[in-house]
């Protein structure tokens, strides 16, 4: 029985990147021997065990055989006779098919170290085509390692997989798992570029795929192409270290521009409402978390108004704040402002420009939110106000606070 560190831990160590956890492969052992050695079995589909002290995962060396379409159609085989090379051969990319033994010696039967040095994402073998999840994983690695390129033969294989319908067998939960992880990488646009080139994006997210080639007014969008713009926005959100909710909202904020009739280009009247509906549909299909879906819909609907906040007086700002449900959902409102800043700066030549609309709206909200509503309500009720009249008194007090914070005279209109 011999254990080897495999996969990401070996890859990241060679890249001199932080190694957060270790996966192990055990050669020459049976499940009974692992249990006798104190390991705890946890694998549902094949034998995986937790180390009694470190709690790291130790998997028995295995081979796999494709038995049905999709990513679940596999039969796994484990036995003490399965070799390390056979186990590594079933992995997705050469850079993930390396191992180290107890002495630190590198086991690299598929030249993964060479591909690391040459910055290439390359499939290990033809078995790559048996699992469509590997397309998503490769795209995610492209987002993480933004100076790597996809090997031409690997890209051609992915195109063949898409044409064969393999991607259509992916279930939403698995797609979201990989997409959400890719969104949180350093350069998330790379994930969607890889998916688009191989044809997978058109199958998984047609709402997003059709944005490429749709023009916008050059005066506001020097990059012109809507798909290019959305990718710039997404990468800007990553530069701003935005959370997943914000990044998904950035991805969805302009989906409606893909449904603008070509005769109306480059203008996109009422694209906000169409974007809101498409963001809702996409989130529902991917089974994205509720907080991602809700923020995406809010940003899609209101981003144009949020951008115009510097033009709004106290009353208009108050209406916008209320439409965003900011008093009940203050954190979501603040995340919407972050997404809109990424949208404003995600344009060619606008990357370092300030975004005054965000601070103006935030100052207005904080002024309104600082109003102690209980005394206002009590004073209104003491004068006989009830229900809507009490709410109107609270709203007026908040509006006055906004006007005062902005040093603006509040008219009686």
- The CA distance from 63 to 84, in Å, is 10
Structure tokens at 161: 């997989």
Q: Which residues pair with 50 in a beta bridge?
A: 40, 57
Q: Are strands 57-60 and 23-27 parallel, antiparallel or unpaired?
A: parallel
DSSP class per residue in 225-272: BHHHHHHHHHHHHHHTT--HHHHHHHHHTTGGGGGS-GGGTT--TTHH
Distances (CA, A) of 288 to 134, 139, 173, 177: 20, 19, 8, 9
Instruction: Check if the beta carbon of residue 42 is closer than 8 Å to that of residue 48.
Output: yes
Helix axes 189-198, 226-239, angle to 10 degrees: 150
pLDDT (tens, 9 = 90+) of the chain, 413 residues, equals 899 999 999 999 999 999 988 999 999 998 899 999 999 998 766 689 999 998 898 999 988 766 565 555 556 677 888 999 999 999 999 999 999 998 889 999 999 999 999 999 999 998 899 899 999 999 999 999 999 999 999 999 999 999 999 999 999 999 999 999 999 999 999 999 999 999 999 999 999 999 999 999 999 999 999 999 999 999 999 999 999 999 999 999 999 999 999 999 999 999 999 999 999 999 999 999 999 999 999 999 999 999 999 999 999 999 999 999 999 999 999 999 999 999 999 999 999 999 999 999 999 999 999 999 999 999 999 999 999 999 999 999 999 999 999 988 886 54
Ramachandran sector of residue 23 (left: φ over 0; alpha: ψ -120 to 50; beta: rest): beta
Instruction: Check if the beta carbon of residue 11 is closer than 8 Å to that of residue 96.
Output: yes
Distances (CA, A) of 326 to 163, 331, 358: 46, 8, 14
pLDDT at 114: 98
């Amino acid at each position: 029985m011999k254990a080897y560190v495999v996969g990401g831990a070996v890859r990241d160590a060679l890249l001199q990147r932080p190694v957060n956890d270790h996966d192990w492969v055990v050669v020459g052992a049976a499940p009974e021997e692992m249990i006798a050695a104190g390991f705890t079995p946890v694998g549902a589909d094949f034998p995986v065990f937790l180390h009694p002290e470190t709690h790291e995962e130790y998997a028995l060396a295995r081979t796999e055989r494709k038995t049905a379409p999709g990513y679940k159609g596999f039969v796994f085989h484990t036995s003490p006779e399965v070799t390390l090379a056979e186990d590594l051969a079933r992995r997705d990319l050469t850079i993930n098919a390396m191992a180290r033994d107890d002495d630190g010696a590198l086991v690299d039967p598929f030249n993964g170290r060479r591909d690391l040095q040459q910055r290439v994402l390359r499939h290990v073998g033809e078995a790559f085509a048996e699992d469509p999840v590997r397309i998503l994983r490769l795209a995610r690695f492209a987002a993480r390692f933004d100076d790597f390129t996809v090997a031409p033969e690997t890209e051609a294989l992915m195109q063949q997989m898409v044409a064969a319908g393999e991607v259509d067998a992916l279930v939403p939960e698995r797609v979201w798992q990989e997409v959400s992880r890719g969104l949180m990488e350093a350069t998330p646009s790379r994930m969607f570029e890889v998916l688009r080139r191989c044809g997978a994006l058109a199958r998984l997210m047609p709402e997003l795929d059709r944005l490429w080639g749709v023009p916008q007014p050059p005066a506001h969008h020097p990059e012109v192409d809507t798909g290019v713009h959305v990718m710039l926005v997404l990468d800007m959100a990553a530069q701003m270290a935005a959370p997943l909710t914000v990044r998904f909202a950035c991805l969805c904020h302009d989906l409606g521009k893909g449904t603008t009739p070509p005769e109306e280009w480059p203008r996109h009247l009422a694209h906000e409402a169409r974007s809101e509906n498409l963001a809702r549909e996409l989130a529902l299909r991917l089974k994205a978390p509720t907080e991602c879906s809700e923020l995406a819909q809010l940003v899609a609907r209101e981003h144009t108004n949020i951008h115009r906040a510097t033009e709004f007086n106290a009353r208009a700002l108050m209406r916008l704040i209320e439409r965003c449900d900011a008093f009940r959902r203050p954190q979501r409102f603040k995340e919407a402002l972050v997404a809109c800043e990424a949208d404003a700066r995600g344009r060619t030549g606008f990357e370092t420009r300030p975004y005054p609309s965000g601070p103006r709206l935030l100052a207005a909200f904080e002024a309104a939110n600082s109003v102690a509503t209980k005394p206002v309500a009590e004073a209104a009720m003491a004068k006989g106000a009830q229900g809507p009249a009490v709410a109107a008194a609270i709203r007026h007090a908040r509006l006055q606070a906004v006007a005062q914070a902005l040093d603006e005279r509040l008219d009686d209109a």
